Chain A
Amino acid sequence: MSKFEFPPSIKSRPVYGTLKARPGKGHLMIADAEGAEAILGIATPDLMAKTHIIYIPRGAGFTDQLRALNPAQFYEGPTYAASVQRIRRVLQDAHMGLQVYLTGTEGLMGQAQNEAMQAGIPHTAIQTEHRGSVARRMQCVHCKGITEDVETDPFVCSHCGLNLFVRDHYSRRLAAYQGVCIDAEDPGNVPAPKGIYE
């Protein structure tokens, strides 16, 4: 599957790369949906013998292929929220030099990166590769509620109901882009939603 090329943007917007196997005695790979394909792309028997894969399928059918790589540890989580306790435990037990690989949607990578940062790994040392949906995880700046998988701009805050426009301004700490009321100066004047990259 071809990768989406994000248009150039402002300096707070994350930039994703392409996963590469790095030397190390421990490897943690966290992926959702089509992110599995990025893991399949770099997997070798040697690497997999030292790798813990945490995978959230979100309806994509890659579980069997990932298991077939024979990783040292494998966990399939039903949701990110269900997986986060395990992610924290793995990071807590990690030794110096653990290599972290994140791939899939922006929301998955951002949240997992935040966990790794809180465990003391600099964000610049974490590899990322975007795959799959280009939907965004958005924070409403007004009510602070998070709306997952936002595909259109503007969108309605799933918590307070305000009409929000989708900014490129991004917080690593919140793992979210910022949504700001679009019709504050002209209530009710809300443009028709369109895809974020249309």
Chain B
Amino acid sequence: MTIQFNDETFRDDYSFHNSDWAIKRFPFPFHEDSYMYAVNMEQHRGGPEGSVYEKRFDVDEHYVAEMRDRAMVLADDPLRCQSLPHMTLAGWDLLELIMVSKSEDYPDLFELHRDGDTWRWVNKPMGIDDTFTFLDDTTLPYGPMEYITRQTQGDFCVLDQRDNNLWMDAGMVTTQADWSLDFDIGMNFFEWHAPVPLAHEKGIFVRALKFLLNIQQGAPARRLNWTMTVNPLLDTSPENYHKWGIQKTTLTPENIGAKQHLRVELQTFFRLPRSNALVFPIRCYLCSFQDLMTMPKWGRRLHRVVRDLPVELATYKGFIDNRPMMLDYLSQFDDGLPTSPGVWPDFETEPPLAK
């Protein structure tokens, strides 16, 4: 299908919105009626047609608006994109991976023409047509990682692998769930995850690292993570927390359905061929509570998950104060009926709300 790109904003008047198509394909993260941390990895080799899992780098109706928002964030704070000196080759690896994937997966939107080291990249939605020399930094307007990630939805962490660990040595991070690349750059896997509660004790990070260190070329993996955001704000950075934190207090029983968003990260992991680095794209999807409630199964389940989440997790994810109001709202959409297993909305087979 041809994608109609939304003209919308993720700040100020928050005109962001999901079409019916985007709601149906929203990556709802809960496969059962409760949630606890898990490594929850699976292969990233396609998925159901039209789903966010189908392509290597999903492009959706928010693409152009998200790239506009990223450019604004970078103009305000260029340190959201950093690459330590030894990571330039990994940046080229990433540029190649994205250009090849997008031109193959979306031939109507992106074209890559390669003649030896002379490459021509055409990005139709953004109106870009550039010719450059592969592996020659001087032929691009930005470094290779910054160039391509200014044109690709999602945050990108480029991880160096050495000493049996992964090191956050480069990244483009403008749509983050409250963590700072500028602070964390140079840290190893355990250090940048240090503030996460409960998961260290459960051995989650030891197991996850073991898995990630062994990811091979051509065999990418994926998992979901989630949090809550008031207003469809992409840039929930610690740098700007003193500005956006107050928005959490603007929820009322009347506006919560429209203002409160479930924020889901589709995290993928690709081994890069020349540098042996690992790229870790973190793609953010937002959906308002009221749009989620159009799927009866998701309404029932989200109520149960939010209600039963341990206090530590609700605190870490930043919605402990708003949880009672969220539950008042969500309980209207939970009639106690059982839900089908798995994340899909099953809107053709699940019973309508019976209350």
Seen from chain A, the residues whose Cβ lies within 8 Å of a Cβ on chain B are 10-13, 139, 141-142, 144, 162, 167-169, 171-174, 178, 180-181, 184-187
Contact = CB atoms under 8 A, between A and B. Distances in A.
Given A169-B195, A185-B246, A11 B190 contact: yes
B191 A186 contact: no
Interface in B1-19: none
Contacts of A187: 246
A139 B180 CA distance: 12
Contacts of B246: 184-185, 187
Contacts of B274: none
B194 A141 contact: no
B150 interface: no
B321 A169 contact: no
A114 to B, nearest CB: 10
Interface stretch (B53-61, B131-139, B181-189, B337-345): B181-189
Contacts of A169: 183, 194-195
Interface of B: 180, 182-187, 190-195, 200, 238-246, 248-249, 321
Given A10-B195, A11-B194, A162 B183 contact: no
A141 B238 contact: yes
A173 B185 contact: yes
Given A11-B190, A142-B238, A172-B187, 17 more contacts: A10-B200, A11-B191, A11-B193, A11-B194, A11-B200, A139-B183, A142-B240, A142-B242, A167-B195, A169-B183, A171-B186, A178-B183, A180-B241, A185-B245, A185-B248, A185-B321, A186-B249
Contact of B184 (A142, A144, A171): A171
Contacts of B193: 11
Nearest to B84: A173
Nearest to A123: B186
Contacts of B200: 10-11
Given A139-B183, A171-B183, A171-B186, A12 B241 contact: no
B194 A184 contact: no
Contacts of A167: 195
Contacts of A186: 249
Contacts of B195: 10, 12, 167-169
Nearest to B184: A171
A7 to B, nearest CB: 15
A81 to B, nearest CB: 22
A86 to B, nearest CB: 25
Given A12-B191, A169-B195, A141 B180 contact: yes
